[in-house]
Structure 1
Amino acid sequence: MKAFFLLLLGSLTLSGLQAQDASRKKGGETAIFVDPLIKVFKYSTDLKEVKPVADVARGENASFQFVYRSGKQIKSLSAKITSLKGERGGTISNGAVKFVGFVKQGRYAEHPGTDALKSKDGTFPDPLFEQESIAVKAGDNQSIWLTIPIADNQQADTYHGELLVTAVSADGNQQSYKKNFDITVYPVSVAKQTLWVSNWAAFLNPWSLPLKKPAATTMYSDEYWAALKKFADKLTEYRQNVIRIEMLKVITFTKGNNGRYDFNFDRLDKMMNIFMQSGIKRFEGDFVAQKVSDWAGPLGFMMPTDAGAAVSRKLVTVDKDDNNARQFYKEYLIALYNHLKEKKWDDIVFLHISDEPTQQNPKAYRDMLAFVKSVVPDMKTIEAINQPVPEDVDIQVPLLSYYRYGNSARFIKQQQQNKGEIWFYVCVSPQYNYPNRFLENPLIKTRFLHWANYKFNLTGFLHWGFNIWSGNAYDFSTSNSVGGDAWVVYPKDGKIISSIRLEAERDGIVDYELLRLLEKKNPSMAKQIIDATMMDFDKFNSDIDTFRANRRKILTALSK
């Protein structure tokens, strides 16, 4: 271990002595490395050049952002990693070069944070295009994004990389740039994930999956299952380990002459097995009920209107025509739980009762939960909530801002009584200075979502929109929500592509795991770093240089 640190010290000194001038400005050109936590707009001129060094653990990703701008129109800008070799002779492979694209902003937050970004041209950088080259207008910035996975068994060392960038102008002139970057891999592993992460995803229609011809793909065909596996791999690539399945839309069932139902779980089993093969560890199930009228009104069962392959659902109010609904759910829940028990999946499936129960009508939720528990008392439950709910909800997921103003003690008391779990969620709320993943938020604020997990001892995170596209996925004005709220990935050429926001979220999950490891080894240092970084639910030290230095301290301490 000591030898590693001597080598690290020497390599950093050597890198400092041999650092190249990464900026060229003759003819209006700029070619520099910029911190990947910076959102680079097409028109940005105040970019700060950084020394391209990534400090990483085994099992995470090293990221770099290289920005190119020319006074001429560029017909083709391309880039590739030509080498990535360690000082001890090892190599790193499988690095990907992507191009940061732009999307049209829709709604800004009604109550923006003090650090909210505004776009002069109505666009924000976000999608990561996976293509060989891209055209760039004269005077526009184009970010090149490097994502380099670090293997779980990668040798601890400093690795020197070379990026070759080639720009071909509209008049046919070609210029190439060789840019060096370094990756320091510490003898620390984050392969094992303890934080639970769930982004509700759409995958029960071909249009939501990585398919080149979704219109020609039939649900549950071989093409569908193959695309679902790719989709599941994309989820777990970005450290999602919980997935919600609308199970009543997947299973099949028939009603016999005796008035009783027969349920077939074959498709659900296949779907769950595909997700588990990709690394999903837990599943959220259906909502039994939803609000019938207004936010504070009664709840209604989500009652299927027919049986068979295509299942539609309607609301049946609790206090009216609910006998058929109650009988259906008694049979369905018992059959589902018995099937999960037989498959030994009963500990990894969590049922929803009704989304976001309110303080205005707590009895409606309690009555519905009591009904479900009377039918399947051992079925585990999870709920996104804004009030403490009965103790037998296994995973309570309050909105992050609901922990304020004395609410934390109430949630923690219930957690202790039930020995359950406490997560948090965000969606279109909270706004102001809370961390969230809106387009207008600085990337470091998106990354801080999972520093909040660590700071407040919240062991899971939930968001409603992974790929809930509406209209044009590259135009957030087609969404009814705040820009960036409904999706963090994009469809492109038969693939699901990532975004710089999703990259920041994944890095934040790794930060959480590193802080947990540091807490075991040096709790006082972990507390000092988290308290200096996140002072409250909505107060942070967002200085990027300080953030990088603190993260390096964590890796160094864990390496000793």
Structure 2
Amino acid sequence: MHRQTEIKYEMKLLSSLVKVFQDETPVYRPECQVLSALWGETVSFQVAYTGDFFMRERLAVQVVSPIAEHVRVRTVEQVPVGRATNRIVDDNYLKTTSGLYPDLLRDLKDGKAIVCSNQWRSLWVDVEVTEEIEAGEYEIEVQLVKEGKVVCSVVQKLTVYAVTLPKQTIMHTEWMHADCLADYYQVEVFSEEHWQILENYFHEYVKRGCNMMLTPLFTSPLDTAIGLERTTTQLIEVEVKDGEYYFGFDKMKRWVDLCKKCGIEYFEMSHLFSQWGAKYAPKVVAMVDGREEKIFGWHTPAVGEYTRFLESFLPQLIAKLREWEIADVTYFHISDEPREEDLESYKAAKESLGNMLDGFHTFDALSSYEFYRHGLIDKPIPGNNEIEEFLEHGLTDMWIYYCTGQFYEVSNRFMSMPSARNRIYGLQLYKYDIIGILHWGYNFYNSQFSIEHINPYEVTDADNAFPAGDPFLVYPGADGFPEESIRMMVHYEALTDLRALELLESLTSKEHVMEVIEGELAEPLTFKKYPKSDMYLITLRNRINREIAKYTSKK
């Protein structure tokens, strides 16, 4: 039998921007552990821990602090990564190989964490800073406890300023795939069980700064192989009688009401035409002579009978949007990610709509300025690697997105990237006055082209199609509630940085805030050139908070 006289435990205080790999000893950086916050935000830090005993142990985690009731502790779980990167990489990746990566955040089971022998793991600690916490400095001690005895602990200090972070102004959509929830949890689409799961996800979605919801009028024509189809997720009821189309809006009304209940402020209608060029109609099912039939899909061109269908449908939809008082906050998609060679088919699809969408914004993720130049899109959404062309043409009030194609030089949130590359987004959005951000995968739990369903706890790269972390931000918890990721929390931090920058600007000026951001940089911040260090972001946010406190105290 193995005998060991003394077991050594070790803990290290880390910022939220570190990723702790099991086989790498993390470095304590005191310059990154100064933490401050404003009222109305959640701030995070990490505690890495290890032990050198023979077997694994489950030790109790205790938080000792005057504000302990505002503290939540989760474990950072390692997940399998098959595809870590795309073929080309730059010098700002943590790793480029397959393996286990830290990402999933999971609430403690029975208040305990697993300590693995000679492996580093970490705890993720959130502090929800509400106005109940008075201004001042607080200590938060995180302890590992064995048989009633504290075997090791660390102390994080937090400075709270008596200023409320303003409401988020930027529009933010992460595409919610309702079909993936029904498929994963094996519930009937729009059954009561499905609606409850949707509500659970909507609440979490809003909590982390998402305020616009993709609304599946018909099954969203996204990431679906030509000729195949995704699980039908259609809010609009359609009936065909004597060659005429009739519509029911009850499910959509329930969707809209649920969104409002959960705090959604903006609505985006699912794409009216197929992805990658708008050549086909989306899948539409209808009751025809008492039987359900697929009346539109890959087998029907975008322009033709489907045009007559839209001429009947869109005016009724718009009347409902006005009745529900959301017309002013509703945006329409034409087709996702058209390429320049798709210009004519996109143009034909858009022109087939005539003036039916007059008064509404149309917006799409695209890479070519030509679509805007031809007047085919009201709000183009270029990738952050292609937005310069749009800015150079003088466009303002810009939207922006990134996905698997934005992997070189620009910010993104792959698991293989450092978290600072995720968080820097907030500063870039601020500098360029971006009004909206989009990402395609809040919870895409399919393989690429939706050929099959996947288990995201086992497959994090859409079956080796995209760098791990691109297809989803949250995991499908066993109880019907989402489990968050490091990437979700760091992206939320980017949005709170943005809100703090906007607050300081309201107290001073845009020029003053940009001087704070760029004053110590050798070159101006852009989407492709930006500081890479954790310390820069953490120090900058602390300075922003101090300045906000200073200027508000003068008023």
Task: Give the superposition deviation at 1:146.
Answer: 0.6
Residues 207 and 220 from structure 1, CA distance in 2 versus in 1: closer, same or farther, beyond 3 angstroms?
closer
Aligned to 2:240: 255
Decide whether the 8 Å contact of 2:81 with 2:100 is kept in 1. Answer: yes
Residues 311 and 153 from structure 1, CA distance in 2 versus in 1: closer, same or farther, beyond 3 angstroms?
farther
1:78 pairs with 2:63? no
Task: Give the superposition deviation at 1:501.
Answer: 0.8
Aligned to 2:298: 315
1:39-438 map, 5 Å: 39-50=19-30, 52-72=33-53, 73-83=55-65, 85=66, 91=67, 93-107=69-83, 108-118=85-95, 122-132=99-109, 133-152=112-131, 154-167=133-146, 176-204=151-179, 206-207=181-182, 214-215=185-186, 217-248=187-218, 249-257=234-242, 259-290=243-274, 299-302=279-282, 304-307=284-287, 313-316=296-299, 318=301, 322-388=303-369, 389=372, 390-391=374-375, 393-404=377-388, 406-410=389-393, 412-413=394-395, 415=396, 421-438=397-414
SS of residue in 1 equivalent to 2:547? helix
Decide whether the 8 Å contact of 1:465 with 1:488 is kept in 2. Answer: yes
Aligned to 1:13: none
Q: Which residue identity does 1:237 align to in structure 2?
A: K
Task: Give the superposition deviation at 1:305.
Answer: 4.5
Number of residues of Structure 1 aligned to a counterpart in Structure 2: 505
1:454-469 map, 5 Å: 454-469=430-445
Residues 205 and 114 from structure 1, CA distance in 2 versus in 1: closer, same or farther, beyond 3 angstroms?
closer
Decide whether the 8 Å contact of 1:316 with 1:325 is kept in 2. Answer: no
Report the Cα distance in structure 2 between the residues aligned to 1:175 and 1:371, rounded to whole angstroms. Answer: 70
Report the Cα distance in structure 2 between the residues aligned to 1:41 and 1:61, rounded to whole angstroms. Answer: 24
Task: Give the superposition deviation at 1:71.
Answer: 1.0
Residues 431 and 66 from structure 1, CA distance in 2 versus in 1: closer, same or farther, beyond 3 angstroms?
same
* TM-score, scaled relative to structure 2: 0.85
Task: Give the superposition deviation at 1:277.
Answer: 1.2
Task: Give the superposition deviation at 1:346.
Answer: 1.0
Q: Which residue identity does 1:36 align to in structure 2?
A: S
Q: Which residue identity does 1:306 align to in structure 2?
A: A
Report the Cα distance in structure 2 between the residues aligned to 1:120 and 1:505, rounded to whole angstroms. Answer: 23
Q: Which residue identity does 2:177 align to in structure 1?
A: A
Aligned to 2:517: 530
Residues 375 and 525 from structure 1, CA distance in 2 versus in 1: closer, same or farther, beyond 3 angstroms?
closer
The Cα offsets for residues 352-387 of structure 1, whole Å up to 9 and x where unpaired, read as 111122222323222222222433423332211212
Aligned to 1:504: 490
Structure 1 residue runs without a partner (length 5+)? 1-25, 86-90, 416-420
Task: Give the superposition deviation at 1:136.
Answer: 3.3
The Cα offsets for residues 418-470 of structure 1, whole Å up to 9 and x where unpaired, read as xxx41100000211221001111100101112222112221111000011123
Report the Cα distance in structure 1 between the residues aligned to 2:391 and 2:546, rounded to whole angstroms. Answer: 33
Report the Cα distance in structure 2 between the residues aligned to 1:298 and 1:205, rounded to whole angstroms. Answer: 23
The Cα offsets for residues 33-85 of structure 1, whole Å up to 9 and x where unpaired, read as 112211110011252243754211111112120011111133203313233x2
Residues 288 and 298 from structure 1, CA distance in 2 versus in 1: closer, same or farther, beyond 3 angstroms?
closer
Task: Give the superposition deviation at 1:303.
Answer: 5.0
SS of residue in 2 equivalent to 1:374? coil
Aligned to 2:456: 473
Decide whether the 8 Å contact of 1:58 with 1:191 is kept in 2. Answer: no
Greater alpha carbon shift after TM alignment, 144-153 vs 122-131? 144-153
Decide whether the 8 Å contact of 2:211 with 2:265 is kept in 1. Answer: yes
1:515 to 488, 496, 501: 501
- TM-align CA RMSD: 2.5
SS of residue in 2 equivalent to 1:161? strand
SS of residue in 1 equivalent to 2:540? helix
Report the Cα distance in structure 1 between the residues aligned to 2:375 and 2:304, rounded to whole angstroms. Answer: 27
Aligned to 2:468: 483
Report the Cα distance in structure 1 between the residues aligned to 2:379 and 2:444, rounded to whole angstroms. Answer: 24
Q: Which residue identity does 1:409 align to in structure 2?
A: E
Decide whether the 8 Å contact of 1:92 with 1:150 is kept in 2. Answer: no
SS of residue in 1 equivalent to 2:422? helix
Structure 2 residue runs without a partner (length 5+)? 1-5, 219-233, 447-453, 551-555
Residues 120 and 106 from structure 1, CA distance in 2 versus in 1: closer, same or farther, beyond 3 angstroms?
closer
Q: Which residue identity does 1:252 align to in structure 2?
A: E
* TM-score, scaled relative to structure 1: 0.84
Residues 491 and 174 from structure 1, CA distance in 2 versus in 1: closer, same or farther, beyond 3 angstroms?
farther
Report the Cα distance in structure 1 between the residues aligned to 2:216 and 2:278, rounded to whole angstroms. Answer: 22
Task: Give the superposition deviation at 1:489.
Answer: 1.1
Residues 36 and 355 from structure 1, CA distance in 2 versus in 1: closer, same or farther, beyond 3 angstroms?
same
Report the Cα distance in structure 2 between the residues aligned to 1:536 and 1:126, rounded to whole angstroms. Answer: 27
Report the Cα distance in structure 1 between the residues aligned to 2:183 and 2:516, rounded to whole angstroms. Answer: 40
Q: Which residue identity does 1:490 align to in structure 2?
A: Y
Task: Give the superposition deviation at 1:517.
Answer: 1.7
Report the Cα distance in structure 1 between the residues aligned to 2:537 and 2:412, rounded to whole angstroms. Answer: 18
